[in-house]
Chains A and B, each alone.
Chain A
Amino acid sequence: MTQRRVLDRRTVLRGALAGGAALAGGGLLSACGGRQDAVRIATDDRWRQFAGTTLNFISENTAPTAAIAANLRPFTELTGINVNIITLELTALVQKVALDLAGGESQYHVIYADPYQVLAPYSKGLVDLRELATDSSLPGLDGGFGDFITTQLDAAGRFGDGEAVYTLPYDCPTMIWQYRADLFAKHHDRMSADLGFDPTPSAERTWEEYFRIAQWFNDNTDDVAYGTGHQAKQHDSLMCDFSNVLWAHGGDYFDNGDAIGRYGTVDPGDCRLDSDAAIEAAEFYRRLLSVADPSSRTWDWNGLAPALTSGRIAMCPNWHEYAADNESARPGDFGYAPLPRGPARSANIYGGTGIAINGNTLPNERMAAWLFVNWATSPETQLANLKSSAGGGTPTRESVYQLPEVRAAEQRPSAMPNILTAPAVTTAWEDDNIGLRPKIPMWNECDTAIYTQLSRMLAGDVSPAGAMRESTARFNRIIDRGWAA
């Protein structure tokens, strides 16, 4: 007699449970299993061999990325590659990138690599782009590495002693002197007579003269509430603003500061913020802020820019890419010049960034990412960004500045408002004038130490000498702890 198999309720439940567990387990295993590389198509068109691939590009929410995002179609048509652009505030971006590198995956194939917060600490997690640039199966760099502005390629693209290039310069915000040209023209003769010098902003003006111009606006006109404004919030912006004055007075963060700023190092040596020149710079900075708009202590660069465009202040040092906003708010009313000189030089802090490829990418993903990096920094794309209504920065390639239409746009009326700053930033980028903060992996912590002490100094909690000495002690402690990537 054969026993009839009966499916009772318990058996069905057990079966369902086992099936569910198998499915879940399978899913987990496949999720944890090997990643699949992008497909490479056999084609003679070197730009289209990765058609169908999707890349993720993580970037700070900057004007150049806004322009790239608004103008992605030419890239997709050229390559068949789709690009997802994730834009974040810089701090959030650094967190995501660090965790992505730690995870060993490459959720973000292309990375906006800030030289101080991503490149210096995580250069080992990025691809040396020279390998891709010389790969004959891939499109090479139009104009080669030499077409990038040299100081920018070094500052944004390299780290350490080697020749490796980890990023291609992508944007290049640089602090320059932004001022209300209409007010300077209106009061020129009176100011000249009162102050005893020509107040027109230029690289020939000194910080002391800047101070006196600011005071003159405070005392002699109701056109603006204050002569000058600054980005002196307890924030990275305060370090940037102060660094211009520090370098101009001959101070620096470390011995051999130029090389540390340009190439970077893991061991910068002892801090030199306690030097006489640095203390003198801090004393001047405190004096300058005493005549500046009191709200300066609550502004970062985003707070300062509207203060200028709204007519609250007559001048300020700010990133040159705010020119587009200035021209949009009060067309023709603004002028741009390199920052004033101090006893040592004129120093204009550079805040540019490059784009890099995640070292965890698989071979074909890496090559597809190269196509995007190559295209996004190409002269054609940089020219398109200049014209973009979505924003856009200024080019990082020499050749773009030489184009006749770009040269013509340096004069008003200009269809490319950011390029109105070209004469000022071109001077600012010269070796003698560029300001490069230390490119060290522990910069974030050092940055916090200096801007906190400066903030304390501006609040009257500590003297300029005290702030500089305390900063020095903190820098040295941080450096002594070393860095583990």
Chain B
Amino acid sequence: MSLTVEAPPAERTGTSPSRRRRFGFHARMMAPGILLLAVLSLIPLFTVIAMSLSRVRLLGGVSFGFVGGENWARFFTDIDLAVQWLRTLVFFVLTVGLEMLLGVGLALCLWKIMRGRNTLLSLLLLPMFVAPVIVGLLGRFLTDSTFGLYSWLLGLVGYEGDLLGGTYSAFISVVAMDVWQWTPLIALIALAGLTSVPQPLREAAAIDGASGWQALRSVILPSISSVLLVALLIRSMDAIRYFDIIAVTTNGGPADATKVVPIRLYETAFRFFDLGYAAVIGLVMLAVTIAIARAFVGVLERKGLTR
């Protein structure tokens, strides 16, 4: 974003041309908003940085006791946290990957359907409108071994275990809940992209004898790749902060199998009130999120899609 605008003639306002160039009309109009944003973002950021170098006391008013790099040293030697980052990465790849695959697949199916598409789309989008915490509660009730519908159905086919009781099954269950909720968003974005693929392009591919798979791979997917990249960016930013469903269903268990970094952050900050160390975890999460966003924006820039 550029704030530089063409400077008005100096004699009309009596201010120096150089100052005018730096703070033009638009800049002055935007300044209050930008200042407000800076206050809202920078003060908390610097506070969190200060917290990461401190031991925070709560009683008698919040106070910071400087401890230098103690919290950061702990961060780099915390094996549990390293495992939780790895688990978060696996979770991220699984959820975002499955959502992209299923979302694009569903969008392609919907795209081919001429009659009843809107009704089907409305049904498909329903999970997206449910709050994540409600999705978690629903998942917990449906998989409850005493009265859960899914448990009963699985019992009919011979599965006697408890979905949220096993380490692998619990992890797969929370992945499935996230995929159930957010695949429709990818489907919606992909469908919007598909409807904008030019008809002549598809006709040309057909005339050239391209099979369905060839047309999809060489014509359709490249045409919607930029839209898919935006969808990927949106979901990636969310997946790295995934919290609600796990907090409601497994709370990180069993045996830490579903403890991802946001759960650890919450636990450190609001159960242990170890706010200094929580600040370190939070800052690293922020850095990772920014890095992911920058990577996607970089790809979009290379494709010339940010202009």
Contact = CB atoms under 8 A, between A and B. Distances in A.
Given A294-B162, A298-B164, A455-B256, A102 B61 contact: yes
A95 interface: yes
B238 interface: no
A306 B166 CA distance: 21
A348 to B, nearest CB: 25
A47 to B, nearest CB: 32
B266 to A, nearest CB: 9
Interface in A428-447: 442, 444-445
Contacts of B270: 91, 94-95
Contacts, number: 99
Interface in B260-299: 267, 270-274
Contacts of B272: 442, 444-445, 448
Contacts of A445: 271-272, 274
Contact of A102 (B58, B65, B147): B58
B144 A303 contact: yes
A484 B55 contact: yes
Contact of A484 (B65, B162, B166): B65
A444 B267 CA distance: 10
Contacts of A98: 58, 273
A357 to B, nearest CB: 15
B32 interface: no
A94 B145 CA distance: 30
B149 to A, nearest CB: 15
A124 interface: yes
Nearest to B54: A484
Interface stretch (B19-27, B194-202, B245-253): B245-253
B127 interface: no
Interface string A434-469: 000000001011001000100110110100000000
B256 A234 contact: yes
Contacts of B58: 98-99, 101-102, 122, 485
Given A298-B165, A448-B267, A456 B255 contact: yes
Contact of A295 (B55, B59, B145): B145
Nearest to A477: B74
Contacts of A143: none
A234 B61 CA distance: 33
Contact of B253 (A94, A102, A122, A235): A235
Given A234-B255, A295-B162, A295-B165, A91 B271 contact: yes
A459 B257 contact: yes
A122 B254 contact: no
B301 interface: no
B161 interface: yes
B160 interface: yes
Contacts of B164: 298
Contacts of B165: 294-298
Interface string A73-97: 0000000000000000001001100
Interface string B234-252: 0000000000000000111
Q: Interface of chain A, helix or strand or loop or mixed? A: helix
Contacts of B14: none
B70 to A, nearest CB: 10
B271 A448 contact: yes
B122 interface: no
Given A294-B162, A297-B165, A484-B65, A233 B59 contact: no
A444 B55 CA distance: 17
B62 interface: yes
B251 A294 contact: no
B254 A459 contact: yes
B57 interface: yes
B18 interface: no
B13 interface: no
B145 A298 contact: yes
Contacts of A296: 165
A269 interface: no
Given A104-B60, A125-B59, A484-B65, A294 B160 contact: yes
B15 interface: no
A210 B11 CA distance: 96
A298 B272 CA distance: 23
A42 to B, nearest CB: 34
A485 B251 contact: no
Nearest to B168: A459
B118 interface: no
A448 B233 CA distance: 34
B57 A484 contact: yes
Contacts of A125: 59-60
B78 to A, nearest CB: 11
A312 interface: yes
Interface centre among B60, B62, B252 (most CB of A within 10 A): B60
B251 A459 contact: no
A307 interface: yes
Contacts of B59: 101-102, 122, 124-125, 485
A104 B63 CA distance: 12
B16 interface: no
B214 interface: no
A303 B249 CA distance: 12
A237 B142 CA distance: 22
Given A294-B161, A445-B272, A448-B267, A104 B255 contact: no
A294 B159 CA distance: 12
A473 B256 CA distance: 18
A-B pairs, 10 with minimum CB distance: A234-B253, A295-B145, A459-B255, A102-B58, A297-B165, A456-B255, A295-B162, A485-B59, A298-B165, A445-B272
16 contacts: A91-B271, A102-B59, A102-B61, A102-B62, A103-B61, A234-B251, A234-B252, A235-B253, A298-B144, A306-B146, A306-B147, A442-B272, A444-B273, A445-B272, A445-B274, A455-B254
Given A98-B273, A310-B146, A444-B273, 13 more contacts: A102-B58, A294-B145, A294-B161, A295-B146, A297-B162, A298-B162, A303-B144, A448-B267, A448-B271, A455-B256, A456-B256, A458-B254, A459-B257
Interface of A: 91, 94-95, 98-99, 101-104, 121-122, 124-125, 233-235, 293-298, 303, 306-307, 310, 312, 442, 444-445, 448, 452, 455-456, 458-459, 461, 484-485
Interface of B: 55-62, 65, 144-147, 160-162, 164-167, 250-257, 267, 270-274
